[in-house]
A and B are shown apart, each in its own frame.
Chain A
């Protein structure tokens, strides 16, 4: 394989490419879905493919195919070069790449049990057991879906700078959703987990424990009241603050979106959060769903501090955006280079060989603080405690929205009655400024992020107290 890739790279360099990179991938996966006690789908997938990306005259060209042979790949390189040259005639900005030391490595996934060695029957049993336990948990639970998936990906990466990396990645994910009905009240909830540690994550999550979390969430929702709309003090639990950190802030810290005009472009080296807030995007977190060793440009991953004690100190970069920001900052505000990172951070990721790498988050979180969780609640007379999210979305102008599936009132410093159909929204930077205390605790979960392509990420953090959060809901 290495000889073939080198031959292809040399061909590209001889034919007007200034940079060539090739990714060859093989993926094996199993997906299982059960609904209302019936096993509906057991799906096995085995696919492979390759892509070539070239830089010619300052523009990218990218071609992908699932036929891996020399002639087809030579055609793909020709095609990519011709597209790059076509693009170079109309692009306004010439692409330059930040220098990185080319790596040679072979990385095996650090796992305790390879899911591809676990019999499908065993996976089916797990899915069916959770599904049946859910339906039997409470007679008011009328419907339940359970889904399992695993993926094993082996990628060979080579580029014309001399990088040659083979990396294996293994993902295991499980989730369920269920509906409960009592009279006119309908409640629905979902729960999931995932890891890069292998099938061990399934063995660690006993069906009865998983079902209890989801079942009790539904029971609480059935008796929950609707919240008052307006601004209230709030304690945001790890999973909701994780969603907020990822959706509301994380995307704004992606260098391509900042470059496009996200509000963060005006905040380089400036205060964007209260002094106690440090935000990290970490590709090294053990077992994290967004953990890997090299990104899809062959750059080693790292633990990137994006906000340090309230100050914006780095964006998340690929090689192109790192070079672009270095040039801009050198020219316009060189003193900022002392406080603001412009080196590649290893955030270039592609969903699979069919996509060019773009800037994506990894495991993104607010660093834990110094308070016990109880202390955070202490002097809140009335507020809300947000525990489990549904989903969220943010805009480049800094507005965000998040939906919540499990939340409680806080009354005189104590967790009170459950509330349902809560959502929260606001301006990201204003909200980050209102964080007044951070817990010592830490929890992070598996998630999937969409940005034209999907990526596995980790979402979490500690408990956080916000002076004021705008809550909607009640319908």
Chain B
């Protein structure tokens, strides 16, 4: 559909201008799809979701107002425009405001739409969930698929603003995730999470179930470690949680402009180990976060944020970019954690598209086999209480395995890990060439030296 909404949105922008707005933007989003949950070893709650609405942003005398509504009749939209203008009147002048984005050409992104998903039914999602659950029981009877699920859906957005921005984008997505615990006698392992996500029907539910199960079974073997400093290998899952609340935030321009980021004023300086190169690429073919344009109509692009340890660029939305008298990097995203809110209800904030740490020259097997005495952290718990300003991180590393002379010795229960993540990123031992897609990030396995571990 999409295009049928272009006219409605153009009309709405015009109405806003007629009612006195200096600038106006109207954003439409529609999500349709199926979700199936996995709970306590069973397939649960097959869900059909169909949700659409519009979000309006108006500016009057540098005062901004927003309103959203999900009744798409013209009367209701008009009422929402009036609400947005009332919000602008209630607001205060924002002296930093320059303007909404200007019209630009959008790139064509491949691999973000799969017709098979558009045609999929509930049975497709039920089948994926069932296959994940079955593969757990087939792999080991001591394993329980504790929670997880699958989602397949189509999302379409349309944007129009009063500077000539007009865009329609449509994408599909498919994801499966699973948390597995293992029980044997009185031993219960922590949850082991695996997932697979794609913009097409290219996920492998059997591998998700099997890999999570194998890890959980490995964790039935329990060992200890003395409190001290050790080399630690972080899995992409663990790094994702740690980076989400620290490194990624530190690279977002609003955090930099508030002078909260440790990287503020350090463009061109070496801020981390030269083994690290970080890229944000909204144009990556088939990328989870790929789109022709962001959620305020700015073309997506690829930019190197950190080049061999040297800080090159931050992530900008339109607002922060104009403050720095430059162009947005196409990172104005209407983002909610795990996409639990529809886009039209959200306002654009800075968020990565596909956040990529480039692979290095080691391999995961090599990291394990060459480790004398250290730890492999599969997941961390409590990362959201990290401090993105100072980099102070204190988490429970669980599951975490002790590695001795290249061999996995078992799970270390309740292992606490504390570090300053920005300092730790200067002490990278090894980076694997293998990378894994974790939500909208693509991350390698990373080994860092001298990490403080506190054991019971």
- Report A's interface with B, CB cutoff 8 A: 35-36, 38-49, 60-67, 76, 79-80, 82-84, 86-87, 90-93, 119-121, 123-124, 128, 142-143, 145, 179, 186, 188, 229-230, 256, 259-263, 266, 351, 354, 356, 389-403, 421, 423, 425-427, 450, 452-454, 470, 472-475
Nearest Cβ distance between residue B123 and chain A, in whole angstroms?
A: 5
**In the complex, what residues of B have CB within 8 A of residue A260's CB?**
39-41, 144, 146-147, 181
Smallest Cβ distance from A215 to chain B, in angstroms? 17
Whether B381 and A43, one on each chain, are in contact in the complex, defined by CB atoms closer than 8 angstroms, is no
Q: Is the CB of A64 within 8 A of B51?
A: yes
Which of A60, A121, A186, A472 lies in contact with B44, CB distance below 8 A?
Answer: A60
Question: Which one, B46, B87, B382, contacts A402 given CB within 8 A?
Answer: B382
Instruction: Please tell me if B223 contacts chain A, counting CB pairs below 8 Å.
Output: no
Shortest distance from the beta carbon of B319 to any chain A beta carbon, whole Å: 8
CA distance A351 to B345 in the complex (A): 15
Q: Pull 6 A–B residue pairs with CB atoms less than 8 Å apart, ordered by A.
A: A67-B50, A83-B34, A179-B258, A179-B259, A393-B384, A396-B181
| Interface residue? B322 (CB, 8 A) | no
B41 near A92 with CB under 8 A, answer yes
B interface residue numbers (CB < 8 A to A): 34, 36-37, 39-53, 64-71, 80, 83-84, 86-88, 90-92, 94-96, 122-123, 126, 130, 144, 146-147, 181, 183, 186, 188-191, 227, 254, 258-260, 337-338, 340, 345, 347, 381-382, 384-387, 389-390, 392, 394-396, 398, 413-414, 416, 418-420, 452, 454, 456
State the CA gap A401–B418 with chains docked (Å): 12
Query: B395: nearest residue on chain A (CB-CB)?
Result: A401
**Which chain A residues lie closer than 8 Å to B227 at the CB level?**
229
Candidates A230, A394, A425, A475; contact of B452 at CB < 8 Å: A475
Whole-angstrom CA separation of A392 from B383 in the bound complex:
9
Within the complex, the shortest CB–CB distance from A111 to chain B, in Å, comes to 22
Our pick among A35, A44, A394 for the contact of B67 (Cβ within 8 Å) is: A44
Let me know if A91 and B418 touch, CB within 8 A.
Answer: no
> B80: which of A35, A46, A396, A423 is its contact (CB, 8 Å)?
A46
Residues of B within 8 A of A47 (CB): 53, 68-70, 345
The verdict on A354 contacting B91 (CB below 8 Å), with A42-B64, A44-B66, A392-B382 known, is no
Q: Return the chain B residue nearest A52 by Cβ.
A: B48
Chain A residue nearest to B76 (CB atoms) is A46
Given contacts A46-B69, A186-B390, contact A39 B91 (CB under 8 A): yes
Among B90, B181, B189, B381, point to the contact of A42 (Cβ < 8 A). B90
Contacts of A473 in B (CB 8 A): 394, 418
Complex Cα–Cα for A391 and B386 (A): 9
Closest A residue to B32 by CB, please name it.
A65
Residue of A83, A390, A396, A397 touching B48 (CB-CB under 8 A):
A83
**Nearest chain B residue, comparing its CB with the CB of A128:** B92
Are the CB atoms of B87 and A43 closer together than 8 Å? yes
Of the residues B49, B80, B413, contact of A397 by C-beta under 8 Å: B413
Give the distance in Å from the alpha carbon of A426 to the alpha carbon of B413 in the complex: 9
Interface contact B48-A62, CB-CB below 8 Å: yes
Given contacts A47-B53, A474-B418, 14 further A-B contacts (CB under 8 A): A40-B64, A42-B90, A44-B83, A46-B67, A64-B47, A64-B51, A186-B389, A260-B146, A261-B144, A393-B381, A395-B396, A396-B191, A403-B394, A423-B382
In the bound complex, how far is the Cα of B49 from the Cα of A475, in angstroms?
A: 45
Contact of B46 among A44, A61, A119, A142 (CB under 8 A): A61
Interface centre among B37, B66, B92 (most CB of A within 10 A): B92
Q: B418–A399 contact, CB under 8 A? A: no
Bound Cα distance from A49 to B47, whole angstroms: 15
Contact assessment for B53 and A475 in the assembled complex, using a CB-CB cutoff below 8 Å: no
Chain A nearest CB from B395 CB (Å) reads 6
- Which 5 pairs of residues, A with B, have the shortest CB-CB distance? A403-B385, A401-B382, A120-B90, A423-B394, A83-B46
**Does the CB pair B92–A124 fall under 8 Å?**
yes
Contacts of A453 in B (CB 8 A): 340
Q: Is the CB of A49 within 8 A of B190?
A: no
> A143 — which chain B residues lie within 8 A by C-beta?
258-260
Whole-angstrom CA separation of A377 from B40 in the bound complex:
43
CB-based contact B48/A79 at 8 Å: yes
Min Cβ gap B389→A in Å is 5
- Bound: A45/B90 CA distance, A: 15
How far apart sit A42 and B419, CA to CA, in the bound complex (Å)? 38
- Taking A260-B39, A261-B181, A399-B190 as contacts, is the C-beta distance between A44 and B84 under 8 angstroms? yes
How many Å lie between the Cα of A92 and that of B123 in the bound state? 17
Given contacts A396-B181, A401-B381, A473-B418, contact A45 B67 (CB under 8 A): yes
**Shortest Cβ gap from A149 to chain B (Å):** 13
Write the nearest CB–CB distance from B116 to chain A, whole angstroms.
18
Q: How far is the CA of A189 from the CA of B83 in the complex (A)?
A: 34
A residues less than 8 Å from B183 (CB atoms): 261
**A124-B90, A179-B389, A397-B413 are contacts. A46–B83 as well, Cβ < 8 Å?**
yes
CA distance A474 to B390 in the complex (A): 12
Residues from chain A with Cβ under 8 Å of B88 in the complex? 42
B40 touches A256 (CB 8 A): yes
B438 to chain A, nearest CB (A): 17
Question: Which residues of the partner chain B approach A76 to less than 8 Å between Cβ atoms?
Answer: 48
How far, in whole Å, are A142 and B96 apart by their CA atoms in the complex? 18
Given contacts A86-B126, A454-B340, contact A396 B146 (CB under 8 A): yes
Question: What chain B residues lie within 8 Å of A426 (beta carbons)?
Answer: 414, 456
Given contacts A62-B48, A260-B146, A475 and B69 within 8 Å (CB-CB): no
A86, B385: Cβ atoms closer than 8 Å? no
In the assembled complex, the CB of B271 is this many whole angstroms from the nearest CB of chain A, namely: 16
The reply to whether B90 and A121 form a contact with Cβ atoms under 8 Å apart is yes
Inside 8 A of B47's CB, which chain A residues have their CB?
62-64, 83, 356
CB distance from B83 to the nearest CB of A (A): 5
Q: How far is the CB of A223 from chain B (nearest CB, A)?
A: 15
Complex Cα spacing A263 to B413, Å: 14
Minimal beta-carbon separation of B193 from chain A (angstroms): 11
Partner of B66, one of A42, A62, A91, A188: A42
Give B187's nearest chain A residue, CB to CB.
A397
CA distance A259 to B382 in the complex (A): 24
Q: Is the CB of B91 within 8 A of A86?
A: no
A189, B232: Cα distance in complex, Å = 29
Which of chain B's residues have a CB closer than 8 A to the CB of A391?
382, 384-385
Among B96, B189, B396, which residue has its beta carbon within 8 angstroms of that of A425?
Answer: B396
A256 near B39 (CB under 8 angstroms)?
yes
B-side contacts of A392, CB under 8 Å: 382, 385
Contact of B396 among A67, A84, A401, A450 (CB under 8 A): A401
* Contact status A397-B190, CB under 8 Å: yes
Chain A residues closer than 8 Å to B387, beta-carbon distance: 188, 421
Contact A38 B126 (CB under 8 A): no
A129 to chain B, nearest CB (A): 12
Cα A403 to Cα B181 in complex, Å, equals 25
Shortest beta-carbon distance from B300 to chain A in Å: 24
**Which residue of the partner chain B has the closest CB to A231?**
B456
Contact B69–A470 (Cβ < 8 Å):
no
Contact of A351 among B337, B340, B420 (CB under 8 A): B340
Which chain B residues border A67 with CB–CB below 8 Å?
A: 50
